[in-house]
């Protein structure tokens, strides 16, 4: 019995590693057509009787303004170009504050957020965080920073039913992602903590303050190395 169980577990693990590695390799070369969160949001809209909104237009990183890339680095992950997928100081800081019951920004990097968005489900369980760490290592090794940024900016939620920077640019500013100004990029980055609650235009005082901070921080970051190729 134990032998059969062991063989079954080994087989499941081999299938998991094979499928996961193949999926990461596949999405290194082709656009990610949808994410689990997109289906979850659509289901929630259907159940609540809301109008179903699903706007998602994939664009290559060459058709994204460098402003939005610098804005999300400034707001979400200042060490994106230098870490290996994990910002240990940010994780330790978030853990220490969370133990005290304080609300703070999480310690997840852009790489971790990308791994979660593309391959996993929302949640805070240790099991999901374990899978997130596994996929983060895979995309760091197989994709590299440029592809991670490209997938991240094409996949994250940037409004109610708005996914990816091209759809967000059209929704908030009626223009292509390639033409976003520094101020517009900062405005979109400012709402990422809760893009269904906050607005990039006609914003609250809180979001306007975040815009100003991100705008200033963008000056501290040079163009990412991959952008200078």
For 74-101, how does the pLDDT look when each residue is reduced to its tens digit (9 = 90+)?
A: 999 999 998 999 987 767 676 666 666 6
pLDDT reading at 110 higher than 50: yes
User: Which pLDDT belongs to residue 9?
Assistant: 84
State residue 97's pLDDT score: 61
3-state secondary structure of 36: helix
Residue 7's pLDDT is 79
Which of the four pLDDT bands, split at 50, 70 and 90, describes residue 228?
very low
The Cα 159–Cα 199 span in angstroms is 8
Average pLDDT over residues 210-227: 83
Can you give the residue ranges of every domain in the chain? Answer: 31-228
**113-157 per-position pLDDT tens digit:** 999 999 998 888 889 999 999 999 999 999 999 999 999 999 999
- For residue 55, report the phi and psi dihedrals to the nearest 5 degrees: -115, 120
- Cα–Cα distance measured from residue 116 to residue 187, given in angstroms and rounded to the nearest whole number: 24
46 and 52 Cβ atoms separated by less than 8 Å: yes
Burial degree of 55 (CB within 10 A; 0-12, 13-18, 19+)? middle
Q: What is the pLDDT of residues 29-47, one digit of tens each?
A: 999 999 999 999 999 999 9
What band does 6 get if pLDDT is binned at 50, 70 and 90? confident
Q: Which CATH class is domain 31-228?
A: mainly alpha
| Phi, psi for 80 (deg, rounded to 5) | -50, -45
Query: In this structure, are residues 201 and 187 in contact, taking their beta carbons and an 8 Å threshold?
Result: yes
């Amino acid at each position: 019995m134990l032998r059969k169980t062991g063989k079954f577990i080994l087989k499941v693990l081999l299938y998991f590693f094979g499928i996961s590695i193949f999926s990461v390799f596949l999405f290194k070369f082709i656009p990610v057509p949808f994410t689990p969160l997109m289906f979850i949001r659509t289901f929630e809209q259907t159940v609540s009787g809301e109008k179903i909104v699903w706007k998602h237009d994939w664009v290559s990183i060459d058709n994204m303004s460098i402003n939005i890339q610098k804005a999300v680095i400034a707001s979400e992950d200042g060490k994106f170009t230098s870490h290996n997928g994990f910002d240990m100081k940010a994780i330790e800081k978030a853990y220490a504050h969370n133990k005290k019951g304080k609300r703070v920004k999480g310690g997840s990097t852009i790489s971790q957020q990308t791994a979660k968005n593309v391959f996993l489900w929302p949640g805070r369980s240790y099991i999901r965080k374990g899978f997130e760490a596994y996929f983060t290592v895979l995309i760091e090794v197989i994709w590299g920073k440029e592809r991670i940024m490209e997938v991240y900016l094409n996949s994250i939620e940037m409004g109610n039913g708005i996914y990816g920077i091209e759809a967000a640019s059209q929704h908030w500013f009626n223009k292509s992602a390639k033409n976003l100004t520094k101020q517009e990029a900062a405005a979109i980055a400012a709402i990422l903590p809760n893009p269904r609650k906050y607005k990039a235009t006609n914003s609250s005082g809180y979001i306007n303050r975040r815009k100003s901070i991100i705008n200033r921080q963008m000056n501290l970051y040079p163009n990412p190395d991959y952008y200078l190729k």
